[in-house]
Amino acid sequence: MLDIKFVRENQDAVSEAMRNRNASWDSARFSELDESRRDAIQQEEALQAERNALSKEIGKMMGAGQKDEAEAAKERVRAINDELAGVSARREAVDAELRDLLMSVPNMPDAATPVGADENDNPEVRRWGTPRDFAAEGFEPKAHWDLGPVLNIIDFDRGVKLAESRFYVLGGLGARLERALISFMLDQHVARGYKEWWVPALANAATLTGTAQLPKFEDDLFKTTGGLYLIPTAEVQLTNLHAGEVLDAAQLPLKYCAFTPCFREEAGSAGRDTRGIIRVHQFSKVEMVKYAKPEEAFDDLEAMVEDAENILQKLELPYRVISLCTGDIGFSSAKTYDLEVWLPCYDGYKEISSCSCCTDFQARRANIKYRDPEHFKGSRYLYTLNGSGLAVGRTMAAVIENYQQPDGTIRVPDALVPYMGGVTVIEPEGVVTA
């Protein structure tokens, strides 16, 4: 969340930023609540000071035999306590409403984030690789949702039978390819300095509040009857590993990664990418998270993007990098790069990774600080970063489509062959009949 002092002192800048983000922001209501809160605090402090002074005088009065004066002072103390209780209750109510208001406000975009209305205003930063010219090779490429069932490695019907729509089943070399991609991605990140973690697939409300999935995006989450939530990304757990802690500057940046299953209700996404395995309720993802010093965080973001790019380059999948504009960046982000992989089924690029610097927005919510005695006293909020490294299902779709051959088989990328037990080609498997 935003620092209340910053909002108070920069209301025009906050209002402009929210307009650029297409976010609602009630500046007048904030000012009203903030003034009411500060007024209540002043009253509390004045009443407490009066009570403390009277308490000292009562002892002196009793010692001097001034019983009537002492009783009058005691009566005033009792009245102060009653008045103080009312003022404190009012201040607590205002505090709660002010907190709720700030909890609903997205992060301030970084000055380097391009101003724009929506995804159509996202500038392209660079491209890598050249999409295959299937026409020159003499055949029409098929979509992964057609190739997978024919090869018997993806089964959409059984996914629906076991759960509901937008779930799927992987079998045989499809399951092996999923496992290969996960292991390959993790090994690459660990080799580049990330510490691997294994974290719960369930999180409590405080954890999800720390990374700002709650309260704003509760409708996109699956909730259990016990009050826990299925995580939408490992970012939730990796970022909150140090919630409530103060880290040493010498430790930073901390670089973490983890594979987790991810679960998203995808409320409001009906009709979007419903074919195949691009947008589903359960998917696998390898996530990267960094804890960084503020002055180094945006350089760390550039490095994180390179770490995600490394996976695509090793798999020889064409992609492009775009910089998200103010109208398209996520709620917690100040600056975001998306990596989009080439998918023949769309005849275009599709998001496969999103890497963001969240400044101190999440750290403030999760209360994560760092100390650096050589440069400042006490502790300060650090910056958090997160990025997909990568979304496994989308990577699988990209491999299947970009590596398909005229006979309908799939050539396994060289980087994955060791993880596939030496398998170089995915051929049709025997179909299990009902």
Q: Identify the residue whose tokens are 């709620």.
A: 331
Task: Assess whether 279 carries a catalytic annotation.
Answer: yes
User: What are phi and psi for residue 322, nearest 5 degrees?
Assistant: -125, 155
Q: Which of 264, 323, 332, 333 is catalytic?
A: 264
CB 114 within 8 A of CB 326: yes
Is-catalytic flag, 71? Answer: no
Which of 279, 320, 371, 380 is labelled catalytic? 279
> Is 371 among the catalytic positions?
no
Q: Which of 351, 379, 380, 427 is catalytic?
A: 351
In the residue annotation, 51 being an active-site residue is answered as no
Catalytic: 218?
Answer: no
At position 170, the amino acid (one-letter code) is: L
Among 323, 333, 354, 356, the active-site one is 354
| Active-site hit among 323, 364, 394, 401 | 394
Residues taking part in catalysis: 264, 279, 351, 354, 394
